[in-house]
């Protein structure tokens, strides 16, 4: 995962949902609709074929970008739900590991 600081959404970027039913959960940007909206999916509740359209004001753009998801989207135009789940679980594990290291 690459880490870059930017206020513009990017494909493959991991986001935290701030508003709505899924508040606090994570998703991955799979399409940028316009300057206000993106489509996100998590491969579990929100599959690639039925992504959620979210307003950028309702999302926290995180620094992590999944290179696997970006590569798949640019090569084939789609990404498997398994790859989305894997990228999110890897991100959550890294977050927990860094919190755990700081706590000791």
Q: Give the model's pLDDT for residue 101.
A: 78
Q: Give the model's pLDDT for residue 4.
A: 46
Q: Give the model's pLDDT for residue 104.
A: 61
The side-by-side arrangement of strands in the sheet containing 59-65 is 2-3, 59-65, 13-17, 26-32, 37-41, 52-55
Q: Give the model's pLDDT for residue 95.
A: 87
Q: Give the model's pLDDT for residue 3.
A: 47
* Distance of alpha carbon 33 from the chain centroid: 15
pTM of structure: 0.89
What is the DSSP code (8-state) at residue 64? E
CA distance to 5, 12, 40, per residue, from 8 (Å)? 9, 12, 15
Quick check: helix, strand or coil at residue 23? Answer: coil
- Fold observed for domain 2-103: SH3 type barrels. (2.30.30)
pLDDT, mean of each 10-residue run, the chain (104 residues): 65 96 96 96 96 96 95 96 96 87 70
Report how far apart the first and last C-alpha atoms of the chain are (Å, whole number): 25
């Amino acid at each position: 995962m690459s880490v870059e600081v930017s206020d513009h959404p990017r494909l493959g970027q991991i986001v935290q949902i701030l508003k709505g039913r899924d508040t606090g959960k994570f998703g991955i940007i799979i399409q940028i609709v316009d300057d206000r909206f993106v489509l996100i999916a998590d491969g579990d509740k929100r599959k690639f074929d039925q992504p959620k359209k979210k307003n950028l004001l309702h999302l926290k753009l995180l620094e992590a970008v999944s290179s696997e998801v970006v590569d798949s989207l640019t090569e084939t135009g789609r990404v498997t739900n398994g790859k989305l789940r894997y990228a999110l679980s890897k991100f959550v594990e890294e977050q927990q590991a860094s919190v755990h290291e700081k706590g000791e």
